Amino acid sequence: MNAKGTVFKYGDNVDTDVIIPARYLNSSDPAELATHCMEDIDKEFVNKVQKGDIIVATKNFGCGSSREHAPIAIKAAGVSCVIAETFARIFYRNSINIGLPIIECKEAAQGIEAGEQVEVDFNSGMIYNRTKGTEFKGQAFPEFMQKIIAAEGLVNYINNK
């Protein structure tokens, strides 16, 4: 499994309130949530994002509320992978559970800039910056996590078992 796309780059402590503001949480429809994704940190995100694009951020991505709407909005916006130095723990769990691939890799988070072309190989955990020609070793997904992601989330994975 691979992800490939253009990078949107953010800093430390991107919280779930800016990923999907609570004023939109009266909906739980992924497509509707996607139209407001990242709205309070990057108004242009929803206009620019293309299917397959990648979000790269530094420390503690997804901190704050437990709203699963945050990874749902990111996934429904078309993002294929989120790379960060570290993730907040509830966001990490939620992302795996809904089948949004996320990778912790400090070097990649620091060595990739906005607009660059990046490819991620989930089997090996390798992250390739195609624009700069650099590469980074992230943590490979354990087999069960790859299966959850392939099944588009924990529920399907449990049902498939």
Q: Binding residues for other proteins, per CB under 8 A?
A: 13, 15, 17-18, 21-23, 25-28, 40-41, 59-60, 63-69, 71-72, 86, 88-90, 93-94, 97-98, 153-156, 158-159
Q: Residue 94 carries which side chain, given as an amino acid letter?
A: N
Closer residue to other proteins in complex, CB, 135/150: 150
Given the structure tokens 């429809």, which residue do they identify?
29
Q: Rounded to the nearest whole angstrom, what is the least distance from the CB of residue 77 to other proteins in the complex?
A: 17
| DSSP line for 24-47 | GTT---HHHHHTTTTTTT-TTHHH
Tell me the angle at which helices 89-98 and 143-150 cross, rounded to the nearest 10 degrees: 60
Closer residue to other proteins in complex, CB, 15/135: 15
Sheet containing 54-57: give its strands across. Answer: 102-104, 81-84, 54-57, 2-9, 117-121, 126-129, 134-137
Closer residue to other proteins in complex, CB, 82/126: 82
Q: Rounded to the nearest whole angstrom, what is the least distance from the CB of residue 144 to other proteins in the complex?
A: 10
Closer residue to other proteins in complex, CB, 40/113: 40
Q: Rounded to the nearest whole angstrom, what is the least distance from the CB of residue 76 to other proteins in the complex?
A: 13
Q: Rounded to the nearest whole angstrom, what is the least distance from the CB of residue 1 to other proteins in the complex?
A: 20
Closer residue to other proteins in complex, CB, 60/129: 60
Q: Rounded to the nearest whole angstrom, what is the least distance from the CB of residue 56 to other proteins in the complex?
A: 17
| DSSP line for 79-132 | --EEEES-B-HHHHHHHHHHT--EEE-HHHHHH--TT-EEEEETTTTEEEETTT
Cα(12)–Cα(60) distance, rounded to whole angstroms?
Answer: 6
